[in-house]
Homo-oligomer: A and B are copies of this chain.
Amino acid sequence: MGVPVQGAAPGVASRHQSRLLTLLRDEGPLSRVELGERLELPRARLATELGRLAEVRLVESGGPAASRGGRRSTLVELATDLRFLAVDVGATSIGVAVTDARCEVLAHQSQECDVRQGPTTVLDRVAALAEQVMAEVPGRLVAAGVGLPGPVSFREGMPVAPPIMPGWDRFPVRDRLAGRWGCPVAVDNDVNVMALGERHAGVARSLDDLVFVKVGTGIGCGILLGGRVYRGVAGTAGDIGHIRLDDYGPACACGEVGCLEAYFGGAALARDALTLARSGRSAHLAEVLARQGTLTARDVGVAAASGDFASINLVREGGRRLGHVVASLVSFINPGMVVIGGGVALLGHQLLAEVRSSVYRRSMPLATGNLPIVLSELGDLAGVVGASWLATEHAFAVHRG
């Protein structure tokens, strides 16, 4: 029953403290001299602020720093026993990680879980999994971050009208989990979280303006502008999965027709794979279907990688459609990088080639000249790394009262 990670609610009392913690998270141990320089803080003031952070055991001394001539300075680092819970709820799986304060994953477990089971069942399973993972790496739990596969009201910490999450509409995810774990919880859309993960520790390190396109069961994108998640007026910015490509296209889970997701989401790929297998156009998929009794988007990826012509075509056609949407997005936003991730990123380099070709052909040279379009570096871990980052961001902010 006992959660081995103890809840702590350390107080970050000033903007200086908040900036110190953020700097130590993003850059690792730094000497007192370096910290003073970076924050332009006089030595006495720095000592006071660090003293307060040490009192609440958020930072600790890390031994002598490398000499830069003159007196040796002392290294400061984030307390090594701080723990953050990072939860990645997908359409068909849940993942839970425990990280340190630098968002390094110390333990991680995931399991299949259908989000359509509803919030009570899914969050119970998340909590059970979290208990197991926390047992692996004891420490002081500070905060938790959660990514959900649908639109989220960040301010209220709950999903709002999520198309593929029946029963979750306005369910108070943040407050339920905060009550259970006794620590602050931040909840966001999974694509925003994955974008933050790639920016903190993945392929987009230190980039301020980027777009993370997730192709999984759903399709969506997270937009970072100036290093921050851009959400739009109603929180729906980046919702590209339901851009309508054709007024007479296939039906979508959202209730409309012809959405990008209805062509190239996980369910659409599985549907098209079944057609290919049953119609005899793909002997490869027919064989897999006979063996498994069912087909998934993953099977299409494997078949395409092994040279199955019909599967390659499916990936290409989907990539072309996705590419058209990404090309528009590049024209609008003119980002510094496009990262493609999510389960269907399995489709890998064939998908990437198709998207690149669409974007480079369809957007203005000035917008694409220095634009890398790349696959996620963190892969399955993008969600939990980003969720951990979200949790640290919340914990290291100054809160009133």
Contacts and interface: CB of A to CB of B under 8 A. Distances in A.
Interface stretch (A81-89, A176-184, A331-339): A331-339
A41 interface: no
Interface in A206-252: 209, 221, 223, 225, 230-240, 242-244, 247
A240 B151 contact: no
A243 B328 contact: yes
Which one of A236, A239, A242 has the greatest number of beta carbons of chain B within 10 Å?
Answer: A236
A161 B328 contact: no
B334 A237 contact: yes
Contacts of A328: 240, 243, 325, 328-329, 332
A349 interface: no
- The A interface is mostly helix, strand or loop, or mixed, namely loop
Contacts of A329: 328, 332
A269 interface: no
B366 A243 contact: no
Contacts of A367: 232, 234, 236, 239
A364 B239 contact: yes
Nearest to A358: B244
Nearest to A237: B334
A328 B79 CA distance: 46
A19 interface: no
Q: How many copies does the complex hold?
A: 2
B327 A244 contact: yes
A158 to B, nearest CB: 14
Interface string A285-308: 000000000000000000000000
A361 interface: yes
A331 B364 contact: no
A209 to B, nearest CB: 5
B230 A370 contact: no
A398 B209 CA distance: 27
User: In which size bucket is the chain A interface?
Assistant: 35 or more
A160 interface: yes
Contacts of A243: 327-328, 331, 362-363
A243 B329 CA distance: 10
Contacts of A254: 364
A223 to B, nearest CB: 7
A256 to B, nearest CB: 9
Contact of A232 (B240, B333, B369): B333
Contacts of A235: 334, 366
A327 B260 CA distance: 13
B225 A230 contact: yes
A320 B369 CA distance: 30
Contacts of A325: 328
Contact of A234 (B233, B247, B362, B366): B366
Nearest to A336: B233
Contacts of A232: 209, 333-335, 367
Given A225-B230, A327-B243, A364 B332 contact: no
Contacts of A236: 331, 334, 364, 366-367
Given A239-B364, A243-B363, 12 more contacts: A232-B335, A233-B370, A234-B334, A234-B366, A234-B370, A236-B331, A237-B332, A237-B333, A240-B331, A242-B364, A243-B327, A328-B329
Interface of A: 151, 160-161, 209, 221, 223, 225, 230-240, 242-244, 247, 254, 325, 327-329, 331-336, 361-367, 369-370
